[in-house]
Amino acid sequence: MPVAALAWVLLALPAVHGLGPWVVWVVMAAAMTLPTVLPGARRVALNGLWRWRGRAVALFAVAHLAVWAAVGVVAVPAGELVRGAVGPYAPAVVTGSLLLAAAWEITPAKRRALRAGHRTAVVPPAGRAAVAGLVREGARHGGRCVGSCGVLMAGLAVAGHGALLIMLPLTGIVVVQKLARRGTEYAGTAAVVLVGTAALAAI
């Protein structure tokens, strides 16, 4: 959570935006998705050796974030391409991508990805096998997070990464769905919030 909070602070600093769009993408992914890592991180910590618990949480979270960073390698240039074609902020394109995300929220594929992301397997207790296991489970968590929230994040890639006002409701959706016991029940609410955000983006 402190890392996610720090990421939000960094996003508000103009200097960070000078480091390039991919860095901003990674910081944005940290701000929005690291809170969702908490249950899995708690599980690997409590199920691991005491002396490994710090490493366990770090490896799990870094592997999760690495998946989003890898996605950014494709998503950021794609977003840049779109903005290059239609201008730095094209309301119609942003609105369209958010409406697409709203539609994705109510699909069975979204529900499956979200549910899969709630499950974290135990890993070996120590050594290379533990490192491999923690990285595997963190990456799996990140991959399922991309499956669940990727369409939603695509809207941000198109909007540009300084779109803090759009990030806030989207972060709310991501966090509630991942942390609530029956997160899939909020699919309709998430879709409505996304439609509302799309309307704001159009303005």
**Tokens, residue 1:** 């959570």
**C-alpha to C-alpha distance for 32 and 153, rounded to whole angstroms:** 10
Sign for the CA dihedral angle at 127, 128, 131, 134 comes to: negative
Binds another protein (CB under 8 A): choice among 35, 77, 80, 112: 112
Widest pairwise Cα distance in the chain: 54
Tokens linked to 126: 């120590």
**Could you tell me how far CA 47 lies from the centroid of its own chain?**
25
Retrieve residue 192's tokens.
Answer: 């409505």
Distance of closest approach, residue 50 Cβ to another protein, in angstroms? 3
Q: Examine residue 143 and tell whether it contacts another protein (CB under 8 A).
A: no
Q: Is 54 in the site for another protein (CB under 8 A)?
A: no
Structure tokens at 151: 């369409």
Beta carbons of 27 and 11 less than 8 angstroms apart: yes
Nearer to another protein, 184 or 189 (CB): 184
The answer to whether residue 189 forms part of the interface with another protein (CB under 8 A) is no
Residue with Cβ nearer another protein (78 or 189) = 189
Kindly state whether residue 46 participates in binding another protein, applying the rule CB under 8 A: yes
Taking CB under 8 A as the rule, does residue 122 contact another protein? yes
- How far is it, in rounded angstroms, from Cα 12 to Cα 68? 20
Query: Smallest distance, Å, CB 151 to another protein?
Result: 18
Are 156 and 170 contacting, i.e. CB atoms less than 8 angstroms apart?
yes
141 binds another protein (CB under 8 A): no
User: Quick one: which segment of 41-49, 70-78, 165-173, 194-202 binds another protein (CB under 8 A)?
Assistant: 41-49
Q: Is 183 in the site for another protein (CB under 8 A)?
A: yes
Q: Which residues are near another protein by CB under 8 A?
A: 39, 43, 46-51, 111-112, 114-116, 118-125, 127, 129, 181-185
